[in-house]
A and B are shown apart, each in its own frame.
Chain A
Amino acid sequence: MLGAGSTLQAVADTGSTNYLIEPMVILLLCAAGGVATVLLLPGPKQSPKLGGALLAVAGLVLGLIVLRFTAGPAKSDIGPYFWIFSVIALCGAVRVVTHPRPVYSALYFVLTVLASAGLFILLYAEFMAAALVLIYAGAILITYVFVIMLAASAQNPGDRSPLAGLAECDTVSREPFHAACVGFAMMGVLLFVIFDKAELIPPPSPEPAGATVMPEEEVHGSTQSIGQYLFQNQMVNLELAGLILTVSMVGAIVIARRKVSGIDERFEPTSETISATATPVNDDPHSIPVYGTTNPRQKSFPEH
Chain B
Amino acid sequence: MMQFLALQHYLAVGAIMFVIGLVGFITRRNLIVMFLCTELMFQGVLINLVAFSRYNGNLAGQAFVIFVLVIAASEASLALGLVVLLFRQKNTLDADAWRDLKW
- A contacts, CB < 8 Å to B: 4, 7-8, 11, 20, 37, 41, 66, 69-76, 78-79, 82, 86, 89-90, 93-94, 96-98, 102, 105-106, 109, 112-113, 116, 119-120, 122-125, 127-128, 131-132, 135-136, 139-140, 143-144, 147-148, 150-151, 167-170, 172-176, 178-180, 182-184, 186-187, 190-191, 194-195, 198, 200-205, 209-210, 212-213, 222, 225-226, 229-230, 233-234, 237, 241, 244-245, 247-249, 251-252, 255-256, 258, 260, 263-264
CA distance A139 to B74 in the complex (A): 11
Which B residues touch A201, using CB under 8 A?
6-8, 55
A93 touching B5, Cβ below 8 Å = no
CA distance A52 to B6 in the complex (A): 28
Pick from A71, A89, A180, A249: contact of B1, CB under 8 Å: A71
Which B residues touch A234, using CB under 8 A?
63
Q: When A and B form their complex, which 4 residue pairs have the shortest distance between CB atoms, in order from nearest?
A: A248-B74, A97-B24, A169-B94, A72-B1
* B21-37 to A contact mask, C-beta < 8 Å, 1/0: 11110111110110111
A-B contact pairs, 18 of them (CB 8 A): A66-B8, A69-B6, A69-B8, A70-B9, A75-B4, A96-B37, A97-B37, A125-B53, A128-B66, A135-B73, A144-B35, A170-B33, A180-B27, A213-B59, A229-B63, A241-B66, A241-B70, A255-B78
Pick from B5, B21, B29: contact of A76, CB under 8 Å: B5
B85 touching A255, Cβ below 8 Å = yes
Q: In chain B between 29 and 49, which residues have their CB closer than 8 angstroms to a CB of chain A?
A: 29-30, 32-33, 35-37, 39-40, 43, 46-47
| Residue ID in chain B nearest A229 by CB atoms | B59
Pick from A186, A194, A226, A247: contact of B62, CB under 8 Å: A226
The winner among B8, B27, B60, B92 for most chain A CB atoms within 10 A is B27
Q: In chain B between 72 and 100, which residues have their CB closer than 8 angstroms to a CB of chain A?
A: 72-78, 80-85, 87-89, 92-96
B8 touching A20, Cβ below 8 Å = yes
Given contacts A186-B22, A241-B67, contact A97 B55 (CB under 8 A): no
| Residue ID in chain A nearest B35 by CB atoms | A144
Which A residues touch B15, using CB under 8 A?
187, 190-191, 194
Pick from B7, B76, B83: contact of A140, CB under 8 Å: B76
CA distance A225 to B57 in the complex (A): 12
A112 touching B40, Cβ below 8 Å = yes
Pick from A4, A109, A167, A180: contact of B23, CB under 8 Å: A180
Given contacts A230-B63, A245-B73, contact A93 B85 (CB under 8 A): no
A190 touching B19, Cβ below 8 Å = yes
CA distance A234 to B81 in the complex (A): 30
* Cβ of B101 under 8 Å from chain A: no
Which B residues touch A82, using CB under 8 A?
5, 9
